[in-house]
């Protein structure tokens, strides 16, 4: 176990948790944050039911790929969701789960956030689709989320919230922010007569540009 790597990622998780509260993407103790620990299959994840304002690096839990606790106490109740994403997508190194208002409105309506803004489609990869409903914390929810996520970087959880993913915690956080912004824009645009959806070919071009060039400029990759 590399204690320095564990400590650094735990401190970053704490910082992201506080940022979630500050930006109104979660309320109370809801939502959760995790990241792979470089050089291992271990995952650092926020503990269950802890106030982000009082959270410290020592409170962050480390689990292995099977969910066995390596260090710390009780991991988030959504641990299975995080681990399922990591198991399916080796390119994803960080996961942030939010309950933001506008994205959650789409999740409750069980409607995808359409690909309407350029920053959304560049980072997320297109529409933010809705995973079929399952009770929180279950293996069924985890599987449904992985299926709906596919090769993108954000997914809605029906009647629940959303998940953003990235190669860094900052990128996963940004995915959540962009999905929330697009949800808000879509609702406002529909009140003005209707949101115009970007064409598939344009989405593909912008996504490729992000993956091949812009991500590196933003520092959104470990490469």
Measured at the CA of 221, the angle between CA 116 and CA 5, to 5 degrees, comes to 135
Catalytic residue among 78, 171, 177, 180: 78
Note whether 94 and 37 are within 8 A (CB).
Answer: no
Note whether 78 and 137 are within 8 A (CB).
Answer: yes
Helix axes 169-191 and 101-109, enclosed angle (nearest 10): 70
Coil, strand or helix at 165: strand
Q: Which CA distances in Å does 62 have to 2, 73, 211?
A: 12, 9, 29
Give the total residue count for the chain: 223
Written as six digits, the tokens of 61 are 């839990």
Q: Which run of H or of E encompasses 31?
A: none
- Check if 78 is active-site: yes
Kindly give the pairing relationship between strand 43-45 and strand 61-63: antiparallel
Query: Hey, which residues does 97 pair with through a beta bridge?
Result: 32, 163
* Active site positions, annotated: 78
């Amino acid at each position: 176990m590399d204690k320095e790597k564990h400590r650094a990622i735990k401190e970053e998780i704490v910082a992201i948790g506080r940022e979630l509260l500050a930006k109104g993407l979660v309320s109370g103790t809801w939502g959760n944050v995790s990241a792979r620990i470089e050089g291992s299959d271990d995952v650092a994840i926020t503990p269950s039911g802890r106030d982000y304002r009082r959270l410290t690096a020592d409170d962050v839990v480390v689990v292995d790929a099977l969910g066995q606790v390596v260090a710390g106490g009780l991991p988030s109740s959504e641990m299975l969701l995080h681990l399922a994403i990591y198991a399916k997508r080796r390119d994803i190194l960080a996961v942030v789960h939010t309950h933001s208002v506008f994205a959650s409105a789409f999740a409750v309506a069980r409607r995808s956030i359409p690909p309407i803004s350029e920053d959304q489609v560049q980072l997320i990869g297109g529409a933010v689709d809705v995973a079929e409903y399952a009770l929180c914390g279950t293996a069924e929810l985890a599987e449904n989320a992985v299926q709906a996520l596919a090769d993108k970087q954000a997914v809605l959880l029906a009647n629940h919230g959303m998940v953003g993913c990235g190669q860094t915690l900052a990128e996963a956080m940004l995915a959540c922010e962009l999905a929330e912004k697009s949800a808000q824009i879509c609702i406002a645009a529909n009140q003005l007569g209707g949101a115009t959806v970007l064409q598939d070919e344009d989405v593909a071009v912008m996504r490729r540009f992000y993956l091949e060039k812009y991500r590196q400029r933003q520092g959104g990759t470990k490469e």
